[in-house]
């Protein structure tokens, strides 16, 4: 009997010939990461336990991305605690404001993750790195503290659900739509403590950016991790990482064996998936974007660890170029890293978004967790390319968050209500529309 990607990675990391679902392994950690919210808690536990040195300062990443630039005195104190720890222990991967990015965009960009790696992070969306055929999962701050000291982590080997995406997605359907559709099918606990392996012709043709988006949201279905097998798309991405990085020079190619055992196999016709939106207050509460045109909005957020890569911003700019954000809408752009900012500036993406009326932020998680840079007031609604829409996630408990792709978010910013790109294109909405972009677009009534 063959083995899945995850089983192979965890067997290797645990020094075993093979493992099966349910086995407990003590796995070697290739990268351990935390941010300005979770690292200070871990540092407290690390020092309380009497540890005086980290296992390997080159395999730890501390990323101040949630409340940076410092939003208040508490945030400044948190960041100071992490900064001083990083200096004291010579942590190789620590970035200051002006060089930092959103952790789950920054670390792959820097080449810190390779195929076959075991990555743990004190952040639930650490599952993002499965897009590079790695095993990556979120852990608590205490587990992260132990991993900083010992370089190992206890894990139960998860069962794997195999998702096979057939067909070719339509013009404006991408990884975000496929993932929202999938979560809508199986529910927020549909993959509880299981690995979600994404495969099939539609995934084969998908960019690494789209794969990152899908793996990022595996946790929203309760999964232990999301993963995509190694292929030529993975190889091309890794060769684009910095020279001398682990992504370029390390790692082990990982794919599931043809006779691997999956707990379930779910087949999805990607060609039939429409631009999809998750309504409040669960990612599984999905509906076609076209059916929601009566819902007016106050804010649009494009970016985050889910959709803050250059490809995502280019998709938004594709619709917003030559058009204007509706006067009743605030558009906030959250690029994933400083490099994304530079690339967006170089190819005109940034200019298109700003000229349309968008506010371009420094890289930060900011409003995604209701922290800063776009918190919602009572009764306000936002369309966001982020990953969660729980009650109060982006601000006031009586606010609402609708999850969507960059294309749908940009179309909604133009229309003033939830809209699809086809609606905007069909209406011929441009910067010359005297009503700021709502004219001619179907829907728009207050609901």
Catalogue all structural domains in the chain, each as residue range(s) with its CATH number. Answer: 5-268 (3.30.499.10), 275-427 (3.30.499.10)
pLDDT confidence of residue 340: 96
8 Å CB contact between 185 and 266? yes
Structural element, H or E, at residue 27 = strand 24-28
Q: Under 8 Å CB-to-CB from 155, ≥6 apart: which residues?
A: 10, 24, 25, 27, 137
Position 431 scores a pLDDT of 37
> Would the pLDDT of 369 be above 90?
no
Q: Give 176-232 pLDDT, tens digit per residue.
A: 999 999 999 999 999 999 999 999 999 999 999 999 999 999 999 999 999 999 999
pTM over 0.85: yes
For residue 430, the number of C-alpha atoms closer than 13 Å in the C-beta half-sphere is 3
For the chain, give the mean pLDDT. Answer: 92
Query: CA nearest 324: which of 294, 356, 292?
Result: 356
Helices (H), 59-164: 73-88, 103-109, 141-150
Is pLDDT at 243 greater than 90 in this prediction?
A: no
> In the structure, what pLDDT confidence band is assigned to residue 429 with cuts at 50, 70 and 90?
low
- Phi/psi of residue 110, each to 5°? -80, -5
Question: Quick count: other Cβ atoms within 10 Å of Cβ 265?
Answer: 12
| Mean pLDDT of all residues in 287-316 | 95
**pLDDT score, position 427:** 72
Rounded mean pLDDT of 339-364?
95
- Has residue 432 got a pLDDT over 50? no
Token representation of residue 206:
């998908």
pLDDT tens, position by position, 7-26: 999 999 999 999 999 999 99
Residue 138, classed as helix, strand or coil, is strand
Whole-number Å distance between alpha carbons of 292 and 404: 12
Identify which of 29, 175, 33 has the alpha carbon closest to the alpha carbon of residue 100.
33
- What pLDDT score does 126 carry? 96
Cα separation, 293 vs 281, in Å, equals: 18
Strand spans (E) along 279-389: 286-288, 299-303, 330-334, 358-360, 381-384
CA angle 143, 144, 146 (to 5 degrees): 65
Determine what percent of the chain is predicted with pLDDT higher than 70.
Answer: 96
Sign of torsion over alpha carbons 294, 299, 304, 310: positive
pLDDT at 445 > cutoff 60: no
Q: Cβ contacts of residue 312 below 8 Å, gap of 6+? A: 209, 213, 302, 303, 385, 406
Residue range 374-387: mean pLDDT, rounded: 94
Query: 345-358 burial string, b = 16+ CB within 10 Å, else e?
Result: eeeebbebbbbbbb
Decide: 299 and 414 in contact? Cβ < 8 Å: no
Q: Which of 412, 388, 408 is nearest to 400 (CA)?
A: 388
């Amino acid at each position: 009997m063959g083995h899945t990607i995850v089983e192979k990675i965890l067997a290797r990391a645990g020094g075993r010939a093979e493992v099966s679902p349910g086995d407990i392994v003590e796995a070697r950690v290739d990268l351990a990461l935390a941010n300005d919210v979770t690292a200070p808690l871990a540092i407290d536990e690390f020092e309380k336990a009497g540890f005086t040195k980290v296992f390997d300062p080159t395999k730890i990443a501390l990323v101040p991305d949630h409340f940076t630039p410092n939003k208040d005195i508490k945030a400044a104190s948190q960041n100071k605690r992490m900064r001083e720890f990083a200096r004291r222990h010579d942590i190789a991967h620590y970035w200051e404001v002006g060089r930092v990015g959103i952790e789950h965009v920054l670390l792959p960009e820097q080449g810190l993750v390779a195929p076959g790696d075991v990555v743990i992070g004190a952040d639930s969306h650490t599952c993002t790195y499965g897009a590079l055929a790695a095993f990556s999962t979120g852990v608590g701050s205490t587990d992260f503290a132990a991993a900083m000291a010992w370089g190992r982590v206890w894990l139960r080997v998860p069962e794997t659900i195999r998702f096979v995406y057939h067909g070719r997605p339509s013009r404006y359907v991408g990884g975000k739509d496929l993932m929202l559709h999938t979560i809508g099918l199986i529910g927020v606990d549909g993959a509880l403590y299981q690995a979600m392996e994404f495969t099939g012709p539609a995934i084969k043709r998908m960019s690494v950016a789209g794969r990152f988006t899908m793996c990022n949201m595996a946790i929203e279905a309760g999964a232990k991790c999301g993963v995509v097998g190694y292929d030529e798309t993975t190889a091309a991405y890794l060769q684009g990482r910095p020279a001398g990085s682990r992504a370029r020079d390390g790692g082990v190619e990982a794919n599931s064996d043809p006779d691997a055992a999956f707990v379930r196999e779910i087949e999805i016709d990607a060609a039939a998936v429409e631009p999809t939106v998750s309504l409040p207050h669960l990612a599984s509460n999905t509906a076609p974007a076209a059916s929601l045109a009566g819902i007016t909005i106050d804010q649009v957020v494009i970016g985050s660890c889910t959709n803050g890569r250059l490809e995502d911003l280019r998709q938004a700019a594709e619709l917003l170029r030559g058009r204007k954000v509706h006067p009743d809408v605030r558009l906030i752009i959250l690029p994933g890293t400083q490099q994304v900012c530079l690339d967006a500036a170089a190819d005109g993406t940034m200019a298109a978004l700003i000229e349309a009326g968008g506010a371009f932020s420094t890289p930060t998680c900011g409003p995604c967790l209701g922290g800063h840079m776009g918190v919602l007031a009572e009764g306000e609604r936002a369309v966001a390319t982020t990953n969660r829409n729980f009650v109060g996630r982006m601000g006031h408990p009586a606010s609402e968050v609708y999850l969507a792709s960059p294309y749908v978010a940009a179309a909604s910013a133009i229309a003033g209500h939830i809209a699809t790109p086809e609606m905007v294109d069909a209406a011929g909405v441009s910067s010359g529309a005297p009503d700021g972009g709502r004219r001619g677009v179907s829907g728009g009534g207050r609901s």
